[in-house]
Structure 1
Protein backbone atom coordinates (compact mmCIF):
# COMPACT_ATOMS: atom_id res chain seq x y z
CA UNK A 1 0.00 0.00 0.00
CA UNK A 2 1.47 3.34 -1.04
CA UNK A 3 1.58 6.11 1.53
CA UNK A 4 2.15 8.77 -1.12
CA UNK A 5 2.30 12.22 0.45
CA UNK A 6 0.02 11.36 3.33
CA UNK A 7 1.55 12.26 6.70
CA UNK A 8 1.68 9.84 9.58
CA UNK A 9 2.47 10.82 13.20
CA UNK A 10 6.11 9.71 13.04
CA UNK A 11 6.89 11.59 9.84
CA UNK A 12 5.13 14.67 11.20
CA UNK A 13 7.23 14.45 14.35
CA UNK A 14 10.42 14.04 12.33
CA UNK A 15 9.26 16.73 9.86
CA UNK A 16 9.79 14.98 6.53
CA UNK A 17 7.77 12.97 4.01
CA UNK A 18 7.94 9.19 4.00
CA UNK A 19 8.89 8.93 0.34
CA UNK A 20 11.83 11.29 0.87
CA UNK A 21 13.42 9.40 3.77
CA UNK A 22 17.16 8.96 3.44
CA UNK A 23 19.89 8.19 5.98
CA UNK A 24 20.86 11.86 5.83
CA UNK A 25 17.30 12.95 6.70
CA UNK A 26 17.19 10.55 9.63
CA UNK A 27 20.60 11.64 10.91
CA UNK A 28 19.67 15.33 10.60
CA UNK A 29 16.31 14.85 12.31
CA UNK A 30 17.78 12.86 15.18
CA UNK A 31 20.47 15.50 15.66
CA UNK A 32 17.81 18.23 15.67
CA UNK A 33 15.69 16.30 18.19
CA UNK A 34 18.71 15.79 20.44
CA UNK A 35 19.59 19.49 20.29
CA UNK A 36 16.00 20.40 21.18
CA UNK A 37 16.12 17.95 24.08
CA UNK A 38 19.32 19.62 25.33
CA UNK A 39 17.68 23.04 25.08
CA UNK A 40 14.54 21.91 26.86
CA UNK A 41 16.39 20.38 29.80
CA UNK A 42 19.28 22.90 29.73
CA UNK A 43 22.00 20.27 29.80
CA UNK A 44 24.79 22.74 30.62
CA UNK A 45 22.95 24.14 33.65
CA UNK A 46 21.94 20.65 34.77
CA UNK A 47 25.54 19.44 34.67
CA UNK A 48 26.73 22.45 36.69
CA UNK A 49 24.10 21.68 39.33
CA UNK A 50 25.19 18.03 39.42
CA UNK A 51 28.78 19.19 39.91
CA UNK A 52 27.75 21.33 42.91
CA UNK A 53 25.78 18.44 44.43
CA UNK A 54 28.74 16.09 44.12
CA UNK A 55 31.06 18.57 45.85
CA UNK A 56 28.51 18.75 48.67
CA UNK A 57 28.58 14.96 48.87
CA UNK A 58 32.38 14.88 49.01
CA UNK A 59 32.29 17.38 51.88
CA UNK A 60 29.88 15.28 53.92
CA UNK A 61 31.08 11.75 53.16
CA UNK A 62 33.47 9.96 55.50
CA UNK A 63 34.21 7.47 52.74
CA UNK A 64 33.24 7.87 49.10
CA UNK A 65 30.52 5.51 47.86
CA UNK A 66 30.71 5.79 44.07
CA UNK A 67 27.30 4.19 43.67
CA UNK A 68 25.75 7.05 45.63
CA UNK A 69 27.79 9.56 43.62
CA UNK A 70 26.37 8.08 40.41
CA UNK A 71 22.81 8.02 41.76
CA UNK A 72 23.15 11.61 42.97
CA UNK A 73 24.46 12.70 39.57
CA UNK A 74 21.66 11.02 37.64
CA UNK A 75 18.91 11.97 40.09
CA UNK A 76 20.12 15.55 40.33
CA UNK A 77 20.34 15.88 36.56
CA UNK A 78 16.80 14.58 36.13
CA UNK A 79 15.45 16.96 38.79
CA UNK A 80 17.00 20.01 37.15
CA UNK A 81 16.02 18.83 33.68
CA UNK A 82 12.42 18.36 34.81
CA UNK A 83 12.30 21.83 36.36
CA UNK A 84 13.65 23.40 33.18
CA UNK A 85 11.18 21.50 31.00
CA UNK A 86 8.19 22.49 33.16
CA UNK A 87 9.48 26.07 33.14
CA UNK A 88 9.59 26.21 29.35
CA UNK A 89 6.10 24.75 29.07
CA UNK A 90 4.74 27.44 31.40
CA UNK A 91 6.70 30.25 29.73
CA UNK A 92 6.19 29.14 26.13
CA UNK A 93 4.38 32.35 25.14
CA UNK A 94 6.72 34.59 27.13
CA UNK A 95 9.77 32.94 25.55
CA UNK A 96 8.41 33.78 22.10
CA UNK A 97 8.66 37.49 22.95
CA UNK A 98 12.38 37.52 23.78
CA UNK A 99 15.25 37.31 21.33
CA UNK A 100 17.26 35.17 23.76
CA UNK A 101 14.57 32.50 24.11
CA UNK A 102 12.36 32.62 21.02
CA UNK A 103 14.33 29.85 19.31
CA UNK A 104 13.73 27.37 22.12
CA UNK A 105 11.92 24.20 20.95
CA UNK A 106 8.44 25.16 22.19
CA UNK A 107 8.09 28.78 21.01
CA UNK A 108 9.83 27.86 17.74
CA UNK A 109 7.28 25.08 17.17
CA UNK A 110 9.84 22.28 16.90
CA UNK A 111 8.42 20.42 19.90
CA UNK A 112 4.87 20.07 21.17
CA UNK A 113 3.80 20.94 24.70
CA UNK A 114 2.68 17.33 25.16
CA UNK A 115 6.14 16.01 24.32
CA UNK A 116 7.79 18.48 26.70
CA UNK A 117 5.35 17.57 29.49
CA UNK A 118 6.00 13.86 29.02
CA UNK A 119 9.74 14.47 29.31
CA UNK A 120 9.25 16.63 32.42
CA UNK A 121 6.94 14.14 34.14
CA UNK A 122 9.14 11.13 33.37
CA UNK A 123 12.23 13.01 34.58
CA UNK A 124 10.40 13.96 37.79
CA UNK A 125 9.19 10.45 38.62
CA UNK A 126 12.46 8.72 37.79
CA UNK A 127 14.57 11.45 39.42
CA UNK A 128 12.66 11.40 42.69
CA UNK A 129 12.80 7.60 42.69
CA UNK A 130 16.58 7.63 42.25
CA UNK A 131 17.07 10.24 44.98
CA UNK A 132 14.80 8.20 47.27
CA UNK A 133 17.09 5.21 46.76
CA UNK A 134 19.85 7.32 48.36
CA UNK A 135 17.65 8.39 51.27
CA UNK A 136 14.14 9.83 51.74
CA UNK A 137 15.41 13.32 52.63
CA UNK A 138 17.13 13.60 49.24
CA UNK A 139 13.87 12.73 47.49
CA UNK A 140 11.99 15.26 49.64
CA UNK A 141 14.39 18.09 48.83
CA UNK A 142 14.33 17.15 45.15
CA UNK A 143 10.53 17.28 45.12
CA UNK A 144 10.52 20.61 46.99
CA UNK A 145 12.96 22.02 44.46
CA UNK A 146 10.79 21.12 41.46
CA UNK A 147 7.60 22.31 43.16
CA UNK A 148 8.96 25.71 44.19
CA UNK A 149 10.69 26.33 40.88
CA UNK A 150 7.71 25.49 38.70
CA UNK A 151 4.73 26.38 40.91
CA UNK A 152 6.07 29.47 42.67
CA UNK A 153 9.16 31.01 41.06
CA UNK A 154 8.15 30.65 37.41
CA UNK A 155 4.66 32.22 37.66
CA UNK A 156 5.81 34.86 40.18
CA UNK A 157 8.37 36.25 37.71
CA UNK A 158 5.46 37.81 35.85
CA UNK A 159 4.05 39.33 39.05
CA UNK A 160 6.78 40.61 41.38
CA UNK A 161 10.55 41.10 41.72
CA UNK A 162 10.28 39.00 44.90
CA UNK A 163 10.21 35.98 42.58
CA UNK A 164 14.01 36.00 42.66
CA UNK A 165 13.92 35.40 46.44
CA UNK A 166 11.53 32.47 45.97
CA UNK A 167 13.62 31.06 43.13
CA UNK A 168 16.75 31.27 45.27
CA UNK A 169 15.34 28.52 47.52
CA UNK A 170 15.27 25.68 44.96
CA UNK A 171 18.40 27.14 43.41
CA UNK A 172 20.26 26.75 46.71
CA UNK A 173 19.31 23.11 47.29
CA UNK A 174 22.00 21.33 45.18
CA UNK A 175 25.05 22.12 47.36
CA UNK A 176 23.37 20.99 50.56
CA UNK A 177 21.63 18.08 48.79
CA UNK A 178 25.04 16.47 48.35
CA UNK A 179 25.70 16.74 52.08
CA UNK A 180 22.30 15.19 52.85
CA UNK A 181 23.06 12.37 50.39
CA UNK A 182 26.30 11.66 52.26
CA UNK A 183 25.00 11.91 55.82
CA UNK A 184 21.25 11.40 55.66
CA UNK A 185 20.88 14.48 57.85
CA UNK A 186 20.02 18.13 57.39
CA UNK A 187 22.00 19.93 60.09
CA UNK A 188 23.92 23.15 60.52
CA UNK A 189 26.52 22.07 57.94
CA UNK A 190 23.94 21.51 55.20
CA UNK A 191 22.25 24.73 56.29
CA UNK A 192 25.39 26.77 55.70
CA UNK A 193 25.99 25.17 52.31
CA UNK A 194 22.42 26.14 51.47
CA UNK A 195 22.98 29.74 52.61
CA UNK A 196 26.15 30.15 50.54
CA UNK A 197 24.34 29.21 47.35
CA UNK A 198 21.17 31.06 48.39
CA UNK A 199 22.86 34.45 48.79
CA UNK A 200 25.09 33.88 45.75
CA UNK A 201 22.06 33.83 43.49
CA UNK A 202 21.12 37.48 44.05
CA UNK A 203 24.23 39.10 42.55
CA UNK A 204 24.30 36.42 39.85
CA UNK A 205 20.69 36.68 38.68
CA UNK A 206 20.45 40.43 39.16
CA UNK A 207 23.53 40.80 36.94
CA UNK A 208 21.68 38.75 34.32
CA UNK A 209 18.55 40.79 34.99
CA UNK A 210 20.57 43.95 34.33
CA UNK A 211 21.90 42.58 31.04
CA UNK A 212 18.49 41.38 29.87
CA UNK A 213 16.42 44.16 31.45
CA UNK A 214 14.86 45.46 28.23
CA UNK A 215 13.86 41.99 27.02
CA UNK A 216 12.54 40.94 30.42
CA UNK A 217 10.59 44.20 30.64
CA UNK A 218 9.08 43.65 27.18
CA UNK A 219 7.99 40.15 28.21
CA UNK A 220 6.55 41.39 31.52
CA UNK A 221 9.10 39.65 33.75
CA UNK A 222 10.29 41.27 36.98
CA UNK A 223 13.94 40.32 37.45
CA UNK A 224 15.51 43.38 39.11
CA UNK A 225 14.80 44.81 42.59
CA UNK A 226 11.98 47.37 42.40
CA UNK A 227 11.84 46.75 38.63
CA UNK A 228 14.46 49.44 38.09
CA UNK A 229 17.80 49.36 36.31
CA UNK A 230 19.44 51.84 38.66
CA UNK A 231 21.99 52.26 41.46
CA UNK A 232 19.43 51.06 43.98
CA UNK A 233 19.49 47.62 42.38
CA UNK A 234 23.29 47.61 42.44
CA UNK A 235 23.34 48.52 46.15
CA UNK A 236 21.32 45.36 46.79
CA UNK A 237 23.75 43.37 44.63
CA UNK A 238 26.63 44.66 46.77
CA UNK A 239 24.74 43.94 50.00
CA UNK A 240 23.95 40.32 49.14
CA UNK A 241 27.45 39.74 47.81
CA UNK A 242 28.80 40.76 51.22
CA UNK A 243 26.45 38.35 52.99
CA UNK A 244 27.48 35.58 50.57
CA UNK A 245 31.13 36.18 51.42
CA UNK A 246 30.42 36.09 55.16
CA UNK A 247 28.54 32.79 54.80
CA UNK A 248 31.38 31.35 52.71
CA UNK A 249 34.12 32.10 55.25
CA UNK A 250 32.03 31.38 58.38
CA UNK A 251 33.29 27.77 58.69
CA UNK A 252 36.75 29.09 59.65
CA UNK A 253 35.19 30.27 62.93
CA UNK A 254 34.20 26.68 63.84
CA UNK A 255 30.54 27.65 64.13
CA UNK A 256 29.30 25.29 61.42
CA UNK A 257 29.54 21.88 63.08
CA UNK A 258 31.71 19.42 61.19
CA UNK A 259 32.13 21.85 58.32
CA UNK A 260 35.44 23.61 58.95
CA UNK A 261 38.02 25.32 56.72
CA UNK A 262 41.60 26.42 57.39
CA UNK A 263 42.34 30.16 57.76
CA UNK A 264 44.33 30.16 54.50
CA UNK A 265 41.30 28.67 52.75
CA UNK A 266 39.11 31.41 54.18
CA UNK A 267 41.55 34.03 52.89
CA UNK A 268 41.45 32.56 49.38
CA UNK A 269 37.65 32.52 49.41
CA UNK A 270 37.62 36.07 50.77
CA UNK A 271 39.80 37.22 47.86
CA UNK A 272 37.42 35.59 45.39
CA UNK A 273 34.54 37.38 47.08
CA UNK A 274 36.41 40.69 46.91
CA UNK A 275 36.82 40.12 43.17
CA UNK A 276 33.04 39.87 42.86
CA UNK A 277 32.64 42.99 44.99
CA UNK A 278 35.09 44.83 42.76
CA UNK A 279 32.96 44.16 39.69
CA UNK A 280 29.82 45.08 41.62
CA UNK A 281 31.33 48.45 42.53
CA UNK A 282 32.47 48.91 38.94
CA UNK A 283 28.87 48.37 37.88
CA UNK A 284 27.75 50.91 40.49
CA UNK A 285 30.12 53.49 39.00
CA UNK A 286 29.36 52.86 35.34
CA UNK A 287 25.88 51.28 35.19
CA UNK A 288 27.08 49.71 31.93
CA UNK A 289 26.18 46.27 30.61
CA UNK A 290 29.85 45.44 30.11
CA UNK A 291 30.44 45.62 33.87
CA UNK A 292 27.24 43.66 34.57
CA UNK A 293 28.58 40.93 32.29
CA UNK A 294 31.90 40.90 34.14
CA UNK A 295 30.04 40.57 37.44
CA UNK A 296 27.94 37.73 36.09
CA UNK A 297 31.03 35.86 34.88
CA UNK A 298 32.80 36.50 38.19
CA UNK A 299 29.81 35.02 40.04
CA UNK A 300 29.93 31.88 37.87
CA UNK A 301 33.65 31.57 38.58
CA UNK A 302 33.00 32.00 42.31
CA UNK A 303 30.32 29.32 42.63
CA UNK A 304 32.45 26.92 40.56
CA UNK A 305 35.72 27.42 42.43
CA UNK A 306 34.53 27.80 46.04
CA UNK A 307 33.05 24.27 46.32
CA UNK A 308 36.28 22.86 44.86
CA UNK A 309 38.30 24.83 47.41
CA UNK A 310 36.09 23.46 50.20
CA UNK A 311 36.68 19.88 49.01
CA UNK A 312 40.45 20.35 48.68
CA UNK A 313 40.53 21.88 52.16
CA UNK A 314 38.65 18.90 53.61
CA UNK A 315 41.08 16.38 52.17
CA UNK A 316 44.01 18.36 53.56
CA UNK A 317 42.66 17.99 57.11
Structure 2
Protein backbone atom coordinates (compact mmCIF):
# COMPACT_ATOMS: atom_id res chain seq x y z
CA UNK A 1 0.00 0.00 0.00
CA UNK A 2 1.42 3.41 -1.01
CA UNK A 3 2.44 5.75 1.80
CA UNK A 4 0.13 8.69 2.40
CA UNK A 5 1.43 11.99 1.05
CA UNK A 6 2.65 14.36 3.79
CA UNK A 7 0.55 17.54 3.91
CA UNK A 8 1.06 21.01 5.34
CA UNK A 9 -1.34 19.98 8.13
CA UNK A 10 1.04 17.17 9.11
CA UNK A 11 3.95 19.61 9.18
CA UNK A 12 2.04 22.09 11.37
CA UNK A 13 0.96 19.34 13.79
CA UNK A 14 4.49 17.93 14.12
CA UNK A 15 6.01 21.40 14.54
CA UNK A 16 3.38 22.45 17.09
CA UNK A 17 2.28 25.51 15.08
CA UNK A 18 -0.84 26.62 13.25
CA UNK A 19 -1.37 25.61 9.60
CA UNK A 20 -1.24 29.28 8.58
CA UNK A 21 2.14 29.73 10.28
CA UNK A 22 3.49 26.60 8.58
CA UNK A 23 2.26 27.86 5.20
CA UNK A 24 3.85 31.28 5.74
CA UNK A 25 7.16 29.67 6.69
CA UNK A 26 7.17 27.33 3.68
CA UNK A 27 6.40 30.19 1.26
CA UNK A 28 9.14 32.36 2.76
CA UNK A 29 6.68 35.17 3.49
CA UNK A 30 6.99 37.50 6.50
CA UNK A 31 4.77 36.72 9.49
CA UNK A 32 6.75 34.27 11.63
CA UNK A 33 10.04 34.64 13.47
CA UNK A 34 13.20 33.28 11.91
CA UNK A 35 13.49 30.77 14.77
CA UNK A 36 9.96 29.47 14.11
CA UNK A 37 10.59 29.40 10.35
CA UNK A 38 13.77 27.35 10.78
CA UNK A 39 11.94 24.93 13.11
CA UNK A 40 9.10 24.46 10.62
CA UNK A 41 11.49 23.95 7.70
CA UNK A 42 13.47 21.34 9.65
CA UNK A 43 10.23 19.55 10.53
CA UNK A 44 9.10 19.59 6.88
CA UNK A 45 12.44 18.16 5.77
CA UNK A 46 12.29 15.42 8.41
CA UNK A 47 8.78 14.42 7.33
CA UNK A 48 9.66 14.53 3.63
CA UNK A 49 7.10 17.24 2.87
CA UNK A 50 7.14 18.63 -0.68
CA UNK A 51 4.97 21.68 -1.47
CA UNK A 52 2.39 21.20 -4.23
CA UNK A 53 3.66 23.82 -6.67
CA UNK A 54 0.77 23.34 -9.06
CA UNK A 55 -1.83 23.91 -6.32
CA UNK A 56 0.04 27.02 -5.20
CA UNK A 57 0.09 28.41 -8.70
CA UNK A 58 -3.60 27.73 -9.17
CA UNK A 59 -4.22 29.96 -6.15
CA UNK A 60 -2.25 32.74 -7.76
CA UNK A 61 -3.75 35.05 -10.37
CA UNK A 62 -0.84 34.39 -12.77
CA UNK A 63 -0.12 30.65 -12.72
CA UNK A 64 3.03 30.72 -14.89
CA UNK A 65 1.83 27.50 -16.52
CA UNK A 66 1.69 27.00 -20.30
CA UNK A 67 -0.89 24.46 -21.43
CA UNK A 68 -0.05 22.23 -24.40
CA UNK A 69 -2.41 20.08 -26.48
CA UNK A 70 -1.04 17.29 -28.68
CA UNK A 71 -2.11 14.01 -30.28
CA UNK A 72 -1.10 10.72 -28.70
CA UNK A 73 0.81 8.42 -31.05
CA UNK A 74 2.19 11.13 -33.36
CA UNK A 75 5.98 10.93 -33.46
CA UNK A 76 6.37 14.54 -34.56
CA UNK A 77 4.24 15.74 -31.65
CA UNK A 78 6.47 13.82 -29.24
CA UNK A 79 9.53 15.53 -30.71
CA UNK A 80 7.88 18.94 -30.39
CA UNK A 81 7.04 18.24 -26.74
CA UNK A 82 10.63 17.29 -25.98
CA UNK A 83 11.83 20.56 -27.49
CA UNK A 84 9.15 22.59 -25.71
CA UNK A 85 10.48 21.30 -22.39
CA UNK A 86 14.00 22.33 -23.42
CA UNK A 87 12.84 25.79 -24.50
CA UNK A 88 10.77 26.50 -21.39
CA UNK A 89 13.59 25.55 -19.01
CA UNK A 90 14.88 29.01 -18.04
CA UNK A 91 11.67 31.01 -18.41
CA UNK A 92 10.19 30.44 -14.96
CA UNK A 93 7.18 28.72 -16.54
CA UNK A 94 6.10 25.07 -16.48
CA UNK A 95 4.22 23.01 -19.06
CA UNK A 96 0.89 21.28 -18.46
CA UNK A 97 0.03 18.63 -21.07
CA UNK A 98 -3.43 17.67 -22.30
CA UNK A 99 -3.67 14.92 -24.93
CA UNK A 100 -6.05 14.36 -27.82
CA UNK A 101 -7.09 10.78 -28.46
CA UNK A 102 -9.69 9.00 -30.55
CA UNK A 103 -12.19 9.60 -27.72
CA UNK A 104 -10.87 12.95 -26.45
CA UNK A 105 -11.25 15.93 -28.78
CA UNK A 106 -9.22 19.12 -29.11
CA UNK A 107 -12.02 20.94 -27.29
CA UNK A 108 -11.83 18.47 -24.38
CA UNK A 109 -8.07 18.92 -24.18
CA UNK A 110 -8.36 22.72 -24.23
CA UNK A 111 -11.10 22.80 -21.58
CA UNK A 112 -8.90 20.80 -19.21
CA UNK A 113 -6.09 23.36 -19.57
CA UNK A 114 -8.45 26.30 -19.12
CA UNK A 115 -9.74 24.67 -15.92
CA UNK A 116 -6.12 24.62 -14.72
CA UNK A 117 -6.00 28.39 -15.38
CA UNK A 118 -2.98 28.17 -17.68
CA UNK A 119 -1.45 31.55 -18.48
CA UNK A 120 -1.32 30.71 -22.22
CA UNK A 121 -2.01 27.74 -24.49
CA UNK A 122 0.19 26.09 -27.14
CA UNK A 123 -1.80 23.91 -29.54
CA UNK A 124 0.30 21.42 -31.53
CA UNK A 125 -1.27 20.80 -34.98
CA UNK A 126 -4.73 21.63 -33.60
CA UNK A 127 -7.72 19.76 -35.00
CA UNK A 128 -10.14 22.64 -34.59
CA UNK A 129 -11.95 25.18 -36.77
CA UNK A 130 -10.86 28.81 -37.14
CA UNK A 131 -14.11 29.84 -35.45
CA UNK A 132 -13.45 27.60 -32.45
CA UNK A 133 -9.82 28.76 -32.30
CA UNK A 134 -11.00 32.36 -32.09
CA UNK A 135 -13.36 31.38 -29.27
CA UNK A 136 -10.48 29.81 -27.32
CA UNK A 137 -8.41 32.97 -27.84
CA UNK A 138 -11.11 35.03 -26.13
CA UNK A 139 -10.49 32.94 -23.00
CA UNK A 140 -6.67 32.71 -23.01
CA UNK A 141 -3.65 33.68 -25.14
CA UNK A 142 -2.97 31.04 -27.83
CA UNK A 143 -0.02 29.98 -30.00
CA UNK A 144 -0.35 27.21 -32.60
CA UNK A 145 2.48 24.98 -33.86
CA UNK A 146 2.43 23.14 -37.19
CA UNK A 147 -0.84 24.48 -38.56
CA UNK A 148 -1.96 26.91 -41.25
CA UNK A 149 -5.03 27.73 -39.16
CA UNK A 150 -5.26 31.45 -38.44
CA UNK A 151 -7.46 33.51 -36.10
CA UNK A 152 -7.32 37.08 -34.77
CA UNK A 153 -4.93 37.44 -31.84
CA UNK A 154 -3.43 33.96 -32.30
CA UNK A 155 0.28 33.51 -33.07
CA UNK A 156 1.05 30.77 -35.61
CA UNK A 157 4.41 28.96 -35.76
CA UNK A 158 4.99 26.47 -38.57
CA UNK A 159 7.56 25.24 -41.04
CA UNK A 160 7.39 25.94 -44.76
CA UNK A 161 5.82 22.57 -45.56
CA UNK A 162 5.20 23.44 -49.19
CA UNK A 163 8.86 24.25 -49.79
CA UNK A 164 9.88 21.12 -47.88
CA UNK A 165 7.93 18.88 -50.25
CA UNK A 166 9.33 20.77 -53.23
CA UNK A 167 12.82 20.00 -51.91
CA UNK A 168 11.90 16.31 -51.70
CA UNK A 169 10.75 16.25 -55.32
CA UNK A 170 13.83 18.17 -56.47
CA UNK A 171 16.07 15.64 -54.69
CA UNK A 172 14.40 12.73 -56.52
CA UNK A 173 14.58 14.55 -59.86
CA UNK A 174 18.30 15.16 -59.34
CA UNK A 175 18.68 11.41 -58.83
CA UNK A 176 17.09 10.83 -62.25
CA UNK A 177 13.53 9.96 -61.17
CA UNK A 178 10.67 10.97 -63.45
CA UNK A 179 7.85 8.76 -62.17
CA UNK A 180 7.25 10.22 -58.70
CA UNK A 181 4.10 9.44 -56.70
CA UNK A 182 2.77 11.36 -53.70
CA UNK A 183 0.80 9.70 -50.87
CA UNK A 184 -1.71 12.22 -49.52
CA UNK A 185 -3.51 12.32 -46.17
CA UNK A 186 -6.76 14.22 -46.80
CA UNK A 187 -8.07 16.01 -43.75
CA UNK A 188 -4.76 15.98 -41.89
CA UNK A 189 -3.30 19.25 -40.64
CA UNK A 190 -1.31 20.98 -43.43
CA UNK A 191 -2.19 18.20 -45.89
CA UNK A 192 -3.20 20.81 -48.46
CA UNK A 193 0.10 22.68 -48.18
CA UNK A 194 2.13 19.52 -48.70
CA UNK A 195 0.01 18.30 -51.59
CA UNK A 196 0.25 21.69 -53.32
CA UNK A 197 4.00 21.69 -52.85
CA UNK A 198 4.18 18.35 -54.66
CA UNK A 199 1.94 19.50 -57.52
CA UNK A 200 3.92 22.73 -57.95
CA UNK A 201 7.22 20.86 -58.00
CA UNK A 202 6.03 18.31 -60.54
CA UNK A 203 4.79 21.10 -62.78
CA UNK A 204 8.08 22.95 -62.41
CA UNK A 205 9.98 19.86 -63.58
CA UNK A 206 7.45 19.16 -66.36
CA UNK A 207 6.44 15.81 -64.82
CA UNK A 208 3.03 14.15 -64.62
CA UNK A 209 1.74 14.09 -61.01
CA UNK A 210 0.18 11.04 -59.38
CA UNK A 211 -1.51 11.45 -56.00
CA UNK A 212 -2.69 8.44 -54.01
CA UNK A 213 -5.05 8.72 -51.06
CA UNK A 214 -3.51 7.47 -47.84
CA UNK A 215 -3.46 8.54 -44.21
CA UNK A 216 -1.15 9.56 -41.37
CA UNK A 217 -0.17 6.19 -39.90
CA UNK A 218 1.75 3.02 -40.71
CA UNK A 219 -1.42 1.12 -41.64
CA UNK A 220 -2.24 3.60 -44.40
CA UNK A 221 1.29 3.24 -45.77
CA UNK A 222 0.94 -0.54 -45.76
CA UNK A 223 -2.39 -0.25 -47.60
CA UNK A 224 -0.92 2.09 -50.26
CA UNK A 225 2.12 -0.14 -50.80
CA UNK A 226 -0.08 -3.24 -51.13
CA UNK A 227 -2.27 -1.45 -53.67
CA UNK A 228 0.76 -0.40 -55.72
CA UNK A 229 2.22 -3.92 -55.68
CA UNK A 230 -1.02 -5.63 -56.61
CA UNK A 231 -2.42 -3.15 -59.11
CA UNK A 232 0.59 -1.05 -60.18
CA UNK A 233 2.23 0.64 -61.71
CA UNK A 234 5.08 0.89 -59.25
CA UNK A 235 6.80 4.32 -59.46
CA UNK A 236 10.54 4.79 -59.09
CA UNK A 237 10.13 7.55 -56.48
CA UNK A 238 7.56 8.10 -53.73
CA UNK A 239 6.93 10.91 -51.23
CA UNK A 240 4.62 10.38 -48.25
CA UNK A 241 2.63 12.88 -46.20
CA UNK A 242 4.61 11.94 -43.09
CA UNK A 243 7.21 9.52 -41.77
CA UNK A 244 4.70 7.04 -40.36
CA UNK A 245 3.08 6.56 -43.76
CA UNK A 246 6.49 6.32 -45.43
CA UNK A 247 7.51 3.73 -42.84
CA UNK A 248 4.47 1.60 -43.67
CA UNK A 249 5.37 1.74 -47.37
CA UNK A 250 9.01 0.91 -46.64
CA UNK A 251 8.20 -2.11 -44.45
CA UNK A 252 5.80 -3.54 -47.00
CA UNK A 253 8.12 -3.05 -49.96
CA UNK A 254 11.03 -4.70 -48.18
CA UNK A 255 8.83 -7.58 -47.01
CA UNK A 256 7.72 -8.18 -50.61
CA UNK A 257 11.28 -8.17 -51.95
CA UNK A 258 11.32 -4.68 -53.52
CA UNK A 259 14.80 -3.15 -53.40
CA UNK A 260 14.74 0.22 -51.63
CA UNK A 261 16.27 2.42 -52.98
CA UNK A 262 17.39 0.32 -55.98
CA UNK A 263 13.87 -0.14 -57.37
CA UNK A 264 11.95 2.44 -55.36
CA UNK A 265 13.19 5.57 -53.57
CA UNK A 266 11.09 6.76 -50.59
CA UNK A 267 10.93 10.18 -48.91
CA UNK A 268 9.04 10.89 -45.69
CA UNK A 269 8.11 14.10 -43.93
CA UNK A 270 8.79 15.31 -40.32
CA UNK A 271 12.24 13.70 -39.87
CA UNK A 272 11.09 11.98 -36.68
CA UNK A 273 13.39 9.91 -34.48
CA UNK A 274 12.06 6.83 -36.29
CA UNK A 275 13.52 8.08 -39.58
CA UNK A 276 17.06 8.08 -38.22
CA UNK A 277 16.96 4.61 -36.70
CA UNK A 278 19.40 2.04 -38.04
CA UNK A 279 17.48 -0.26 -40.34
CA UNK A 280 15.03 2.50 -41.27
CA UNK A 281 17.43 5.23 -42.44
CA UNK A 282 14.60 7.18 -44.07
CA UNK A 283 15.22 10.26 -46.19
CA UNK A 284 12.82 12.84 -44.76
CA UNK A 285 11.90 16.52 -44.68
CA UNK A 286 12.63 18.11 -41.30
CA UNK A 287 10.32 20.79 -39.91
CA UNK A 288 12.97 21.88 -37.42
CA UNK A 289 11.12 21.01 -34.21
CA UNK A 290 13.65 22.83 -32.00
CA UNK A 291 13.15 26.15 -33.79
CA UNK A 292 9.38 25.74 -33.79
CA UNK A 293 9.32 25.00 -30.07
CA UNK A 294 11.65 27.86 -29.14
CA UNK A 295 9.57 30.37 -31.11
CA UNK A 296 6.30 29.06 -29.66
CA UNK A 297 7.57 29.29 -26.07
CA UNK A 298 8.85 32.82 -26.64
CA UNK A 299 5.51 33.96 -28.01
CA UNK A 300 3.46 32.12 -25.38
CA UNK A 301 5.46 33.65 -22.52
CA UNK A 302 5.17 37.06 -24.15
CA UNK A 303 1.41 36.68 -24.48
CA UNK A 304 1.12 35.48 -20.89
CA UNK A 305 2.94 38.62 -19.80
CA UNK A 306 0.70 40.90 -21.87
CA UNK A 307 3.05 41.42 -24.79
CA UNK A 308 1.51 44.37 -26.63
CA UNK A 309 2.14 43.24 -30.18
CA UNK A 310 -0.15 42.17 -33.01
CA UNK A 311 -0.42 38.44 -33.67
CA UNK A 312 2.03 37.06 -36.21
CA UNK A 313 2.57 34.03 -38.42
CA UNK A 314 6.11 32.66 -38.11
CA UNK A 315 7.17 30.40 -40.99
CA UNK A 316 10.51 28.67 -40.41
CA UNK A 317 12.55 26.86 -43.12
CA UNK A 318 12.08 23.14 -43.74
CA UNK A 319 15.05 21.15 -44.99
CA UNK A 320 15.66 17.73 -46.48
CA UNK A 321 17.70 15.16 -44.54
CA UNK A 322 19.09 12.63 -47.04
CA UNK A 323 19.56 9.07 -45.81
CA UNK A 324 19.54 5.57 -47.28
CA UNK A 325 16.05 5.22 -48.79
CA UNK A 326 16.76 7.37 -51.84
CA UNK A 327 19.13 6.62 -54.69
CA UNK A 328 19.61 6.95 -58.44
CA UNK A 329 16.82 5.83 -60.75
TM-score under structure 2 normalisation?
A: 0.26
More helix by percentage = 1
